[in-house]
């Protein structure tokens, strides 16, 4: 019918770009790439994550906040002051844009956790652990920051943390991704890695906090597809202190990477195997001892497994992951030119910014590509 918006079963759009030598480049390229896939989104969400964009505050937690009202901002700042040194507090730079309207208050903070707060938190956590299994302060500091993010999102009305990692930040909102990029002046930032997303929501609302990327600490996730296991994934995460409040299924993915890799110590490869586990009939054909190992992972982490069609680009300090569901119901293409690696929903979006890649290929179903900075390179 005339006037209706068609459902695009293979949308949304995602792109990731990583320079393995940590050479920083403008966000203009990622805007250009995601703009080419305009028809994969419908104007209800777009966003970007940049890594290495705050070198002057590389050791600070960079909190990007979305506020619906001034009272939410005042309450959040009072909450932060209790536990953090706020070394910088300022509006996130934007420019007027004719297609970006009804914007929330957009603010960023560069924070250091107060030492005595971490010591007290660590002592309380260690009291609950068996003797001889004490955690180091750095590990507990990150657990404390996660707890603070959950507190803000869950308990302060009208306040939402868009990102909370070190030397990275997320810029997202309601609009087409290229418009969101122009609104946030993304081209003025330089980072060694960028990810981006154009949203085509089918069963969740389009609102500023629900746009991609979704983050916790330095993890960021852009996602094409649907997570039909959202309910069981959410309940599983709640047992470990994570709370899903942003009304979009993708939120669970960022928390699962933080839980399985950072907190529980699984390798990135094993984490991806747990989240996109093979079918039992495939596992039965594996030779030993791999069959025993994969069976154990599937049994232990069954509640963390992601069901439904998906392709993901996951960013973290020092690397990028691309992965699809186990039968690849959503596309993901990888390209490489010298030390730069590209991931995208479409080959054309890679060639738009890299016309002559050294190599380009499609990722196999359920098998991750994990790209890290070259050995010895510091982000």
Q: What is the mean pLDDT of residues 335-357?
A: 98
Mean pLDDT over each residue of the chain, to the nearest integer:
94
pLDDT band at 24 (very low <50, low <70, confident <90, very high): very high
**What pLDDT is recorded for position 229?**
95
Tens of pLDDT, residue by residue over 225-254, are: 999 999 999 999 999 999 999 888 999 999
Domain 13-372 in CATH 3.40.50.2300? The answer is: no
| For range 143-158, the mean pLDDT | 97
- pLDDT for the residue 131: 55
The mean pLDDT value for 318-324 works out to 97
Nearest-angstrom CA–CA distance, 94 and 97: 9
The reported pLDDT for the residue numbered 3 is 45
Of 65, 64, 2, 15, which is closest to residue 41 (Cα–Cα)?
15
Interacting residues of 74 by C-beta distance below 8 A, sequence separation 6+? none
Q: Look at residue 1 in the predicted model and tell me its pLDDT.
A: 36
Bridge partners of 163? Answer: 64
Q: What is the pLDDT of residue 2?
A: 40
Strands 46-51, 168-173: pairing is antiparallel
pLDDT digits (tens, 9 = 90+) for 61-82: 999 999 999 999 999 999 999 9
Taking residues 222-227, what's their average pLDDT? Answer: 94
Q: Is 70 exceeded by the pLDDT of residue 332?
A: yes
Instruction: Name which of 149-158, 241-250, 365-374 the model is least confident about.
Output: 241-250
pLDDT of residue 132: 53
pLDDT of 133: 55
**In sequence order, what are the beta bridge partners of 294?**
none
- Report, as an integer, the average pLDDT of 299-321: 96
- In percent, the amount of the chain with pLDDT more than 90 equals 89
Question: Six-digit token pair at 160?
Answer: 């939402």
Please indicate whether residue 334 is annotated as part of the active site.
Answer: no
């Amino acid at each position: 019918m005339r006037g209706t918006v068609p459902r695009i079963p293979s949308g949304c759009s995602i792109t990731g770009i990583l320079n393995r030598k940590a050479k920083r480049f403008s966000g203009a390229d990622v805007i250009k790439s995601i703009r080419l896939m305009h028809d994969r989104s419908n104007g209800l969400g777009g966003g970007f994550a940049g890594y290495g964009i705050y070198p002057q505050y590389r050791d600070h937690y960079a909190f990007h906040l979305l506020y619906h009202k001034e009272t939410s901002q005042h309450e959040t700042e009072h909450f932060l002051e209790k536990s953090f040194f706020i070394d910088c507090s300022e509006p996130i730079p934007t420019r007027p844009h004719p297609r970006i309207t009804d914007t929330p208050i957009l603010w960023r903070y560069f924070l250091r956790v107060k030492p005595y707060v971490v010591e007290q938190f660590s002592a309380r956590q260690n009291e609950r652990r068996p003797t001889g299994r004490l955690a180091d302060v750095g590990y507990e500091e990150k657990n404390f920051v996660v707890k603070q993010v959950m507190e803000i999102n869950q308990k302060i009305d009208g306040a939402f943390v868009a990102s909370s990692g070190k030397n990275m930040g997320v810029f997202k909102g309601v609009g087409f991704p290229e418009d969101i990029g122009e609104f946030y002046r993304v081209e003025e930032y330089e980072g060694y890695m960028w990810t981006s997303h154009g949203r085509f929501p089918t069963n969740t609302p389009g609102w500023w906090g629900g746009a991609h990327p979704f983050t916790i600490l330095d993890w960021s996730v852009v996602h094409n597809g649907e997570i039909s296991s959202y309910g069981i994934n959410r309940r599983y995460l709640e047992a470990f202190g994570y709370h899903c409040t942003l009304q979009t299924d993708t939120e669970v993915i960022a928390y699962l990477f933080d839980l399985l890799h950072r907190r529980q110590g699984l390798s990135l490869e094993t984490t991806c195997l747990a989240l996109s586990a093979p079918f039992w009939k495939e596992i039965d054909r594996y030779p030993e001892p791999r069959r025993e190992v994969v069976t154990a992972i599937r049994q232990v982490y069954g509640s963390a497994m992601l069901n439904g069609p998906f392709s993901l680009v996951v960013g973290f300090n020092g690397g990028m992951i691309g992965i699809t569901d186990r039968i690849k119901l959503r596309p993901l293409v990888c390209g490489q030119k010298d030390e730069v690696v590209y991931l995208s929903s479409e080959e054309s979006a890679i060639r738009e910014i890299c016309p002559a890649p050294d190599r380009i290929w499609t990722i196999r179903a359920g098998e991750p590509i994990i790209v890290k900075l070259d050995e010895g390179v510091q982000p």
